[in-house]
Amino acid sequence: MADDLPKKSEVGRPRSGTTLRPDLSPADQILDAAARLFVQRGYTATSTRAIADEVGIRQASLYYHFPSKERLLDVLLLRTVEPSMTMAATLAELDAPASVRLFALISYDVGQLVRAPHNVGTLYLLPEVRAGGFERFQDERMSLQNVYASLIAQVLAADGPGAPSAPRAHEGKYLTEVVFALVESVIAIRADHPDDEPAVLVEVVASSCLHVLGFDAGAVAAITSAGHALLDDVA
């Protein structure tokens, strides 16, 4: 897990300044500063010394918690997907229609991305990440996409009142990728509209995914209501 950080003393080494986030543990202060600087300045342009200065510690103290800048980015990336994988496992154990579990997962996943500190989802676009590095994150993200694929297959196989209209063969092939892209579109939307209300964006994206899958307005309203109730139960 991303939070399996080295079991170091929380005291660490003496600080050289004043941290911006005294409410966080030393490791989380470093991660918060790294996220802010990676997003604002870029990954390549941000040094570990700059991160240490942002926290108010010596560079050696940063290495006490994280051995490299790459490890910092790795943890930040993993923290964007691992909570959603945990939620997916929880939802899989519940006796609810696939459409309701899918809506709940989308809502949770979008919420994680839109509320993550400093919009760390933008780090997905880094050349270092897109080039295929950070394999653990890539594997986790692919596992999450596979969960979406499984739920969408169950949704499309459903029959009876409220079932979505069946997609044409060439449409069904791409539906998982379209839905997954809609979920991650919140990263760019948030970057363009940083002051917008997160809950509204979550609702718009989640309901849009249902429409993409062929549900009509009445079915979307019913699934939305049941999905929110499901999330309330597992919160």
DSSP secondary structure letters along 89-141: HHHHTS-S-HHHHHHHHHHHHHHHHHHSGGGGGGGGG-HHHHTT--HHHHHHH
Query: CA–CA separation, 99 vs 85, rounded Å?
Result: 17
> Please, what sign has the CA dihedral across residues 162, 165, 166, 171?
negative
Other CB atoms within a 10 A radius of the CB of residue 11 amount to 7
* Residue ranges covered by each domain of the chain: 1-76, 80-234
What lies within 8 Å, CB to CB, of 184 at 6+ separation is 113, 121, 124
At 108-121, the pLDDT tens digits run 999 999 999 899 99
Q: Please tell me whether residue 214 adopts helix, strand or coil conformation.
A: coil
Query: CA–CA separation, 147 vs 32, rounded Å?
Result: 29
Rg (CA), the chain: 20
Q: What is the pTM of this model?
A: 0.87
At 62-74, the pLDDT tens digits run 999 999 999 999 9
Q: Do domains 1-76 and 80-234 have the same CATH topology?
A: yes
Confidence of residue 149 (pLDDT cuts 50, 70, 90): very high
Residue 3 carries which DSSP code? T
Q: What are phi and psi of 13, to 5 degrees?
A: -100, 165
* pLDDT at residue 5 tops 60: no
Q: Are the beta carbons of 182 and 205 closer than 8 angstroms?
A: yes
* Summary mean pLDDT of the chain: 88
List 57's β-bridge partners, or say none. Answer: 15
Query: What fold, for 80-234?
Result: Tetracycline Repressor; domain 2 (1.10.357)
pLDDT the model gives residue 106: 98
Identify which of 69-73, 133-137, 160-164, 173-177 has the greatest average pLDDT. 69-73
CATH superfamily of 1-76: Tetracycline Repressor, domain 2 (1.10.357.10)
Query: CA–CA separation, 132 vs 182, rounded Å?
Result: 22
At 206-226, the pLDDT tens digits run 999 999 999 999 999 999 999
Going by C-alpha positions, the residue among 159, 156, 174, 154 that lies closest to residue 214 is 156
Q: Are the beta carbons of 191 and 136 closer than 8 angstroms?
A: no
Other CB atoms within a 10 A radius of the CB of residue 231 amount to 18
Q: Are the beta carbons of 136 and 76 closer than 8 angstroms?
A: no
